[in-house]
Amino acid sequence: MDALTTISQEHSNMWRLATTLDHVASDMQAGAPLEIAFFEAALDYITQFVDRMHHPKEDDFLFRLLRLRSTEAAEVLDALEADHARGPENLAQLRAKLAAAAQGQLPVAELAVAIKRYTDGLKGHIRTEEKQVLPLARKLLLPQDWAEINQAFRSHSDPVFGDQARAEFRELFHRIASLAPDSVGLGASSVGSLQAPATVQPVLLKVEGLESCYGRIKALKGITLEVRKGETVALVGANGAGKTTFLRAVSGVQAISAGSIHFDGEDISRLRSDKRMRRGICQSPEGRQVFGPLSIEDNLRLGAYTQPKHQVAGDMEKIFTMFPILKEKRALPAGTLSGGQQQMLAIGRALMGRPSLLLLDEPSMGLAPLLVEEVFNVIRTLKSQGMTILLVEQNAFAALAIADRGYVLETGTVTLTGTGEDLIHNEQVRAAYLGM
Ligand SMILES: Nc1ncnc2c1ncn2[C@@H]1O[C@H](COP(=O)(O)OP(=O)(O)O)[C@@H](O)[C@H]1O
Ligand SMILES: [Mg+2]
């Protein structure tokens, strides 16, 4: 992607956010309560985005080279750079007002006015860049300038810093989307409200000392793990660590030799897999395993075989709303779908069982980067709707970035556990799984 495309995309994201802030501020002026968590998340996003990515890139490359090529640009660039420099302070003032309003020391309506003043400034800034600076840049910059700028933007998104930064922004953006009042929706399908903190939720899945063998080889050597209602828990680890074996043991298709599995308070250690499915443990298996010759509809129906007939058609429509491509191709054999589409189908099939615990085994495996992102977006959406998810991934970074908590598995043993964020920042994890 070239630098201009990146900048324009970032502008349109900022514009959407500014419009969203305006919208919520108007609601507040009309008497709606203060959405403190939403505003904090939005301001966090702007802080990280502005300070760490967008403005420095513009100042150091685009603006600097444009100044070299044109004196006519100087005035507008001066103004924009002054805006950039003032940005953090403006934001700090807004945060102070937000804190004051949260403590009842500032009327909410006054905060709303300050927010609108801020977003007006932001929108004016973006408009000036789009309408004046970018056209000038297109006209005046030389090919070698563009080579330097594009190079700079590419190196800014190198796999260590760039991807990490983007993952953080996505997480923040997701938080903003989840926290936004229903009336906003950010153009996506409606997202439910954010879960209450996981610690107050009851334990849904409790696994203790679980062991499982293939012949004389012990693949799981005493795994203890729990998932609370509404949590997304990531189980990460290298190939062969035992992730799949663990998920299969939970869903009941893999025998266990020691330990116990409790689900919603009930001991299900010896329960048949179809009975576990009836209780809401639904799995999207490694490698998708869709039935190639069967139609997409029939694949989805298979996922609902434990469900009463009358709800199947309605549930299928919900899956189609989530994955429009599956609706388009509903009558075609599943084997004609691309890898990414088959993954959507595998997840859709699991959802047809109305899971209360969704088990996802390597949903991003073998997919192109863009599709990997799409799969994680889907997981994020499910999470925001309150689904409880146990996610197995070799793609440790992406999985931990969206997980509330994570477990690191090494040759059948849990070696580390913590919040997703702790694990991402853990040196050992970074070295072993994130390639850092
Ligand atoms: N069907 C099987 N028969 C024998 N050994 C197996 C079988 N499936 C997996 N294993 C072994 O069990 C261990 C864990 O495998 P698996 O659960 O598939 O790991 P992961 O999903 O983390 O890649 C590996 O050493 C693997 O070779
Ligand atoms: Mg596996």
Under CATH, which architecture does the 3-187 domain have?
Up-down Bundle (1.20)
Give pLDDT tens digits for 26-85.
Answer: 888 988 888 888 898 889 888 877 667 778 888 888 999 999 998 888 999 999 999 999
Task: For domain 228-255+267-433, give the fold.
Answer: Rossmann fold (3.40.50)
- Name the closest-CA residue to atom 4, ligand 1: 214
pLDDT in tens, 318-361: 999 888 889 989 999 999 988 888 999 999 999 999 999 999 99
The residue ranges of the chain whose pLDDT is under 50 are 158-162, 182-199
pLDDT at residue 411 in the model:
93
Q: What is the pTM of this model?
A: 0.60
* Protein residue closest via CA to atom 27 of ligand 1: 240
| Fold matches, 3-187 and 228-255+267-433 | no
**For 224-237, what is the HEC assignment?**
EEEEECCCEEEEEC
The encoded tokens of residue 331 equal 């009558």
Could you tell me the distance, in angstroms and rounded to a whole number, from the CA of residue 35 to the centre of ligand 2?
Answer: 42
CA distance 320 to 334: 15
Ligand nearest to the CA of 213: 1
Task: Tell how far the Cα of 272 is from the centroid of ligand 2, in angstroms.
Answer: 22
pLDDT, position 169? 60
Give every CB contact of residue 165 below 8 A, 6+ residues apart in sequence: 48, 52, 53, 157
Question: Residue with the nearest Cα to atom 18 of ligand 1?
Answer: 244
Nearest ligand to residue 249 Cα: 1
Residues paired with residue 225 on neighbouring β-strands, in sequence order: 207
* Ligand 1 atom at shortest distance from the alpha carbon of 361: 21
Q: Where are the domains of the chain?
A: 3-187, 228-255+267-433
Ligand 1: residue whose CA is nearest its atom 24: 240
Q: Residue written as tokens 């309560």?
A: 33
Residue ranges around ligand 1 (CB below 6 Å): 214, 217, 219, 237, 239-245
Hey, whose CA ends up nearest to atom 16 of ligand 1? 242
